[in-house]
Structure 1
């Protein structure tokens, strides 16, 4: 991926515009807020419509259910009266006596009540003439025979009658004594008593129809404008299933709620235009979208304030924090302004930078002391191995040679040969170890010669071929710097041998007037190096961490470039006083 610094100015300008905080705030904050306000406003109108529609429908459904239950209770009361009368009728005795005792209760039957004797004649009746007019001549006997099959004391509701421009509902009950009781009650009075209390508004229409779609009751001025047989909801209610229906008309949408009335098989319906209730509030909410303009103005003002007092100072503080993370402890002290919280945050970062710098200096001093101690221990160990152990192995080899010279036993000769070979191999390994602990070439001949010997004395000649390249006129550096660079090259080669599976490795040492550059590269597997040295230890790259710490101690700049399957390239760049001649650097200090 191309670096931002490699892009053309026009491309960088486009990126800055599209990624600029002003445009982002507009696209992320203002524009979504305006869209949200509009969506909420118009959505609220829609939800308000649906809410009012559902509210009116639910209210009317409960009203129609309660009203139907009240009407059914009144009808059940009338059937109970006939049932009570049937129980009072004995097998013998005058029937008028039973009617006389419950005259007040029989007033619920506006059309009257009659008792039809087993022979088909009217044996007793109340004073009303409507039922007598209906059962004149032999009609009583025909009616009794027609419904004689029904069980005793069970109420049977006959179709609604129209007598003298009035509707009556016949109710028939057969008794155990063979007498048939028939009563007529007015549905208009019953329904008026139960339904007039539902509403006082003429905009609400309440009606009741029977199973022949005859209109038994109606209240309200709403024009139905159609045949009741096709009116929504009535057919379902007559079949025993009420509910809610929505019926569009030219004047608006109507809410229709229905419920069956049992056991007579009627249908109760309440119909009204729900928009007549919701329209005042709806008209008030039509101006709600205008709220988007002050919200947009306030949002732009908030964006301007946030941009000048929050975003820009935070961006500046972010850049300075990035410099702080890269080791620059001075830029964080430059004020960025902004609100009080941002200034407090910068003060905290300044304090943290001072503490971090002090801790870093202490850590560098500690690591330097440890490195010097390790090098000192290595020199002591190398001296002891060279002066004592190696000399003892040399003496052992010489004594074994003397013994081999004077020996005459073939078996002993073979053993002594093995001892001589083992002593020679041990001396070679020990010399290699001593050279690794204390590279004598670097002390006497300098860094370039030591690195060249490192390439020729490879401990793993069958695995990696090491090539050494030198450019420029060699000059001696300070001993601690030469040793540090030698150890870094040694550590890098160890990583190549252990991990890279490379066939070749190259050590390049460049002497330039103002710098010394050490490069180690290979043709191995490569890897994805961490972007920041602070992640070396967490990802297990302890060798790279050692290179980074040593480069920090001598003031060198470490660069690690690697790509999977393309090898690794490590660059150690030494500049300033550290890259000068040892005598020159000392004279500059003096």
Structure 2
């Protein structure tokens, strides 16, 4: 509730507390001025007693309002009884002197807060009878002209009060609906906040898991392959027939060690592979394929089709890692004599094809991820899917293997 709403509520509360006192005082003063409207001391005594009774009734009603504080200004049986007794006192006072109709008009102010439901209109009608009687010159009504005037005033007054009551009820209904809507929105906001917190926690956990998978794949694609190459070169050194051959392969082993160290550092910092540091993807793939062929002695060819584009770092790194893993698998398992790598730029996607003439395998019989730590096809497929791509495998025992990775073409500046 705003400060303005609080101020309005405070003023309404003051009106309901002091309004009946003020109206009773106005009626008593005007009745005293128009003393000729009261006949004899009996009516004076009766009026005085009723004024005192009205004051006592108001004092009692407002003295007990703290008991109703939890309900606010809500219709109740006690409120209805208070309204009826007050109306009776006002009716008798108005009968004695029409100016006491001011006190009867207090019924217009709080009928909606004292009388429940359909009885509210009856309470308003009772107050209208008293006020209309005073407006035609006082009660009782005697002449036909007074009766006609009384009937007309009764209709007009009740029509106006019923219209105001209807508007008030509609406004109260809208207020309740707004309050319910605000409560529902607040509940929705609380639920959204809880869901947001839960999603943040899940995203954090997913991010940690994804980072672990990334580092595991990076280590597999860099350190593991590099160490495999180093071991292969050192084995040649151990069996070299002369010092020249041993030095050549020892130099290759050192180069692989330096390259693997650089890859490890960049993997930890989530940077691009070393091969992409100063070159685009086509140049990096060409160099990677050439070095792999030289190291393994397998004939390796690289081809680019379409107009080459400068790819986003993540796309380029993903495709390079897929080629590295495919070549590593070919060196370990394929026993191939020829490997071909093709990078195709086709409009809005990039296609990477790796083919070999090795021993092949049955794709349905291959476990794509083994507990021993190999990532293989599963790792390549996960890399492609991470950037909204896909990986397909075609192979048959004795007829080689073909891998095809399709990923969206995302340019460097996008």
TM range (shorter): 0.3 to 0.5
Structure with more helix by fraction: 2
Structure with more strand by fraction: 1
- Greater Rg, structure 1 or structure 2? 1
* TM-score, length of structure 1 as denominator length: 0.28
* TM-score, length of structure 2 as denominator length: 0.38
